[in-house]
């Protein structure tokens, strides 16, 4: 691989409004509609991004035939202090599965479950 391995992520959801509300509350940011307006079978809400900065972005996706709640891939969101976003999870309707814990020299993580049953991670260096 010539660069970082992750270029994009998608989190599949069953209820787009509920999922958008959850992630907007946890990360205190607004998601934006994304996608092909001619394809009514796919709804996407994109996370904020800056193509000039490090990291990948992605979207919440609601698409027929793709259910939420799969645990095959875990997305970690970068945070200044993962305890901050973790503290918003329950109020937004999610569950903190593993509170902030040290991963040694690699910083700290929290594991959470969203309103759609998807597990996701939070990562920070402090």
Identify each DSSP E strand in 15-86 by its residue range. 32-34, 42-46, 57-63, 76-78
Q: Give the residue-averaged pLDDT of 91-110.
A: 96
Instruction: Specify if 2 maps to a domain.
Output: no
Residues of the chain with pLDDT > 90, as a percent, come to 71
CA distances from 1 to 5, 56, 90, 93 (A): 7, 15, 38, 38
pLDDT at residue number 106: 93
Q: 98-125 as b/e, with b when 16 or more CB fall inside 10 Å?
A: eebeeeeeeebbbbbbbbbbbbbbbebe
**Domains held by the chain: number:** 1
Instruction: Specify if 81 maps to a domain.
Output: yes
Instruction: Specify if 64 maps to a domain.
Output: yes
Instruction: Specify if 34 maps to a domain.
Output: yes
CA-CA-CA-CA torsion for 62, 32, 98, 90, nearest 10 degrees? -90
pLDDT tens digits for 20-68?
999 999 999 999 998 766 677 889 999 999 988 888 899 999 988 888 9
Instruction: Specify if 52 maps to a domain.
Output: yes
Taking 80 as the threshold, does the pLDDT of residue 2 lie above it? no
CATH of the domain at 29: 3.10.180.10
How far is 56 from 70, CA to CA, in rounded Å?
A: 20
* Structural domain containing residue 86: 8-124
Taking 70 as the threshold, does the pLDDT of residue 1 lie above it? no
pLDDT at residue number 104: 93
Instruction: Specify if 3 maps to a domain.
Output: no
Instruction: Specify if 84 maps to a domain.
Output: yes
């Amino acid at each position: 691989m010539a660069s970082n391995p992750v270029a994009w992520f998608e989190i599949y959801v069953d209820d787009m409004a509920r999922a958008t509300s959850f992630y907007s509350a946890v990360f205190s940011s607004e998601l934006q509609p994304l996608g092909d307006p001619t394809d009514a079978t796919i709804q996407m809400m994109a996370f904020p991004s800056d193509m000039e900065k490090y990291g990948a972005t992605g979207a919440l996706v609601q698409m027929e035939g793709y259910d939420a709640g799969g645990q095959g891939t875990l997305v970690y969101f970068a945070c200044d202090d993962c305890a901050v976003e973790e503290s918003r999870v329950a109020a937004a309707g999610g569950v903190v599965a593993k509170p902030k814990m040290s991963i040694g020299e690699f910083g700290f993580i929290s594991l959470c479950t969203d309103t759609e049953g998807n597990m996701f991670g939070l990562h920070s260096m402090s």
